[in-house]
A and B are shown apart, each in its own frame.
Chain A
Amino acid sequence: MTPLLIGFLVVVGAVLQGLIPSVPFLGEAKAPVLLGIVLYFALMRNPAPAFSTAVVAGLFLDLLGQGRIGFSILCFLIIAWVVNESREHLFGRRWSTHMMLGVFGSAFMVFSFYLFNVIDGTLTLPFTGMLAKAYGTMLLGLVTVPIVFKIIDWMHRGLGIRVKVREM
Chain B
Amino acid sequence: MLRNRRTWALLGLIATFVVVMFLPVSFSRTLRRNTTEALAPVHKLFGSISEKFTSAGHAVIDRNAILEENAALKLENAELERRVKDLEAIEKENLHLAQQLKFVQRQPRRLRPAKVIARDIGGWWRVVTIDRGHTDDVQVDQAVVTARGLVGKIIETSDHTAKVLLISDPSCKASVRLASEDAPGVLSGGGVWLRGKVRCHLTLIDEDVEIERDDMLVTTGMGGVFPAGIDVGFVDAVELDKSSGLFQRATVVPAVDLQSLSTVFVITSQSSVSGSGGTP
Contact = CB atoms under 8 A, between A and B. Distances in A.
B194 A27 contact: yes
Given A21-B119, A65-B124, A70-B17, A132 B35 contact: no
A18 B124 contact: no
A66 B42 CA distance: 20
Interface in B116-163: 118-125, 127, 129
| Chain A interface size, under 10 / 10 to 19 / 20 to 34 / 35 or more | 35 or more
Nearest to A20: B119
B7 to A, nearest CB: 10
Given A19-B47, A59-B20, A24 B259 contact: yes
A71 B21 contact: yes
Contacts of A28: 123, 191-192
A117 B47 contact: no
Interface stretch (B8-16, B63-71, B225-233): B8-16
Contacts of A22: 119-120, 123
A81 B36 CA distance: 29
B192 A11 contact: no
A73 B15 CA distance: 11
Interface of A: 11-12, 14-19, 21-25, 27-30, 47-48, 51, 54-55, 59-61, 63-74, 77, 81, 113, 117, 123-125, 128-129, 132-133
Interface in B1-54: 6, 9-10, 13-14, 16-18, 20-23, 28, 31-32, 35-36, 39, 42-43, 46-47, 50
A69 B198 contact: no
A68 B39 contact: no
Contacts of A15: 39, 42-43, 46, 118
A36 to B, nearest CB: 14
B224 to A, nearest CB: 22
B278 interface: no
B31 A69 contact: yes
B94 interface: no
Contacts of B221: none
Nearest to A51: B13
Given A19-B47, A24-B196, A30 B121 contact: yes
